Amino acid sequence: MVTVCTAGSVIGILLCFSADAAEGVRKGLVCACELLIPALFPFMVLSSFLIRSGLSDSIGRVCGWAAVHGLRLPQEAAAAVLLSFIGGFPVGAKCVRLLYDEKKLTAQQAEQMMLFCICSGPAFLITGIGVLLLHNIQAGIMLFAAQVLSGLILGFSAGRLFGKKPDILPKKPLVRPETSKGRWTEALMLSCEDGANALLQMTALVALFSMLSALSERTGVCELIKTVMQWCGAEYALSENTYYILTEVTMACQRIGSGGCPLWLLSAAVGFGGLCVHCQIFSIIRDIPLHKGKFFLFRLMNAFLSAGIIYIACQFYQPAAETFAVSGAVHAEWFSVTAAGTAAMVLMSVMFVLSLRRHRKITFPKRNHFPCQK
């Protein structure tokens, strides 16, 4: 009975707000076609090809010691860890899935890798966010560096908490390309198929969550979450974007990046990933046992850790303020808390209060409301 009522309610909402639902799906498809597919498809194919062709074993011989001693993972996992940091969110899950299917990872090792091999790659952070959205490549580089550093810290911690140091396999002679030409051709074709299937699932999920966001805005769910967060004492910028941070990272980045919000909030949103990314990961590794509570705990830890790294970094280096401009004529600093600035603000506040005492009737100009200012 409950299922029937729920299904009926969903159908009713879709019928009442069909135009909003259709617009949400359209925006999701546009986002996937313009940003996700061009940025992720090459890395999806590359990651699958490296593992199916056996080249990941060669990478493991070169830097496998770091995976064994630092992360307590097999040598073959080194290529998967590297690709998860440079490929984007679902690439790490895809690599783990392929290694698990080829019996190169145990279920426990696969679960351990999924606690930290989830990182937004440079194609999205440096090009998409830094250059296209913020118009500042330094900001994108800082975001990417924070994600990698946070992921390595969590990977080291997960290895010490849940992993066991594996044995280092003896070195084998490298396979000559001419002796494996047919194998590489087959691996390339299968890799293209893997990438296309994964991106098809991702596109469908992005369109679905974009539709849910449109319906949530229309029905007042976003405003309710914002009110609750403000009642709990959250900052305006955080409460304004909480729903999007929890659900879909691309939309959250667009809102935060164009709203004059602090850079650490953008890093936290990317670090968490959003439920849309999490559903993509769960669909890829659906046959691998993964403790959901442990997974979400590490996602929250990654969000706080990456935000803290950006916050500390911005105390020593601040990229140009125009990257977070609210409009063409207004510039907002990410972190403008200095001793001189604080003293000037206090002095101006005192002068303003004294002027109110002298002049009873004061005509206040109309204020412009910016999205991320109280």
- Render pLDDT for 43-91 as a digit per residue (tens, 0 to 9): 778 877 877 777 766 776 777 788 888 898 988 888 889 888 887 787 8
Band (pLDDT 50/70/90 cuts) for residue 167 is low
Number of domains in the chain: 1
Q: Is the pLDDT reported for residue 126 higher than 70? A: yes
Cα separation, 226 vs 218, whole angstroms: 14
- The answer to whether residue 319 sits within a structural domain is yes
Cα separation, 42 vs 91, whole angstroms: 10
Cβ atoms 95, 65 nearer than 8 A: no
Q: Is the pLDDT reported for residue 153 higher than 80? A: yes
pLDDT in tens, 245-284: 999 888 888 788 777 788 999 999 999 999 988 988 898 8
Question: What is the per-residue pLDDT for 312?
Answer: 95
- The answer to whether residue 329 sits within a structural domain is no
The fraction of the chain above a pLDDT of 90, given in percent, is 20
What CA dihedral angle connects 259, 262, 267 and 268, to 10 degrees? -90
Q: Is the pLDDT reported for residue 158 higher than 50? A: yes
- The answer to whether residue 215 sits within a structural domain is yes
Residues 6+ apart with CB under 8 A from 53: 180, 183, 184, 187, 188
CB atoms within 10 A of CB 319: 20
- The answer to whether residue 365 sits within a structural domain is no
pLDDT in tens, 18-37: 888 888 888 888 877 877 77
Sign of the Cα torsion 83, 291, 32, 238 reads negative
Band (pLDDT 50/70/90 cuts) for residue 175 is very low
pLDDT in tens, 238-247: 888 899 899 9
Q: Which domain holds residue 311?
A: 17-167+187-324
Band (pLDDT 50/70/90 cuts) for residue 152 is very high
Q: Is pLDDT larger for residue 364 or for residue 197?
A: 197
Lowest mean pLDDT among 231-240, 288-297, 360-369: 360-369
Question: What is the per-residue pLDDT for 322?
Answer: 44
Q: With residue 6 as reference, give the H or E element that holds it.
A: helix 2-16
Q: Which two tokens stand for residue 247?
A: 């659900």
- The answer to whether residue 320 sits within a structural domain is yes
DSSP 327: B
Cβ atoms 205, 279 nearer than 8 A: yes
Question: What is the per-residue pLDDT for 341?
Answer: 43
Cα separation, 122 vs 143, whole angstroms: 9
Among 149, 167, 133, CA closest to 60: 167
pTM: 0.74
Q: Is the pLDDT reported for residue 357 higher than 60? A: no
- The answer to whether residue 149 sits within a structural domain is yes
Provide the phi-psi class of 172: left if phi over 0, else alpha when psi is between -120 and 50, else beta: beta
Residues 6+ apart with CB under 8 A from 321: 331, 332, 333, 334
Half-sphere exposure of 320 (CA within 13 A, CB side): 10
Cβ atoms 324, 314 nearer than 8 A: no
Question: What is the per-residue pLDDT for 317?
Answer: 84
- The answer to whether residue 338 sits within a structural domain is no
What residues form DSSP beta bridges with 327?
330
Return the ∠ at Cα 362 (arms to 360 and 367), rounded to 5°.
145
- The answer to whether residue 7 sits within a structural domain is no
Provide the phi-psi class of 262: left if phi over 0, else alpha when psi is between -120 and 50, else beta: beta
Residues 6+ apart with CB under 8 A from 212: 24, 247
Spell out the alpha helix ranges (H) of 121-248.
122, 137-162, 181-219, 221-231, 236-247
Type of residue found at 200: L
Lowest mean pLDDT among 82-91, 193-202, 346-355: 346-355
CA distances for 95 relative to 165, 317, 323, angstroms: 20, 35, 34
Lowest mean pLDDT among 85-99, 286-300, 337-351: 337-351
Cβ atoms 73, 112 nearer than 8 A: yes
Please enumerate, as own/partner, the contacts of 176-179 that have beta carbons within 8 Å and a separation of 24 or more: none
Q: Is the pLDDT reported for residue 97 higher than 70? A: yes
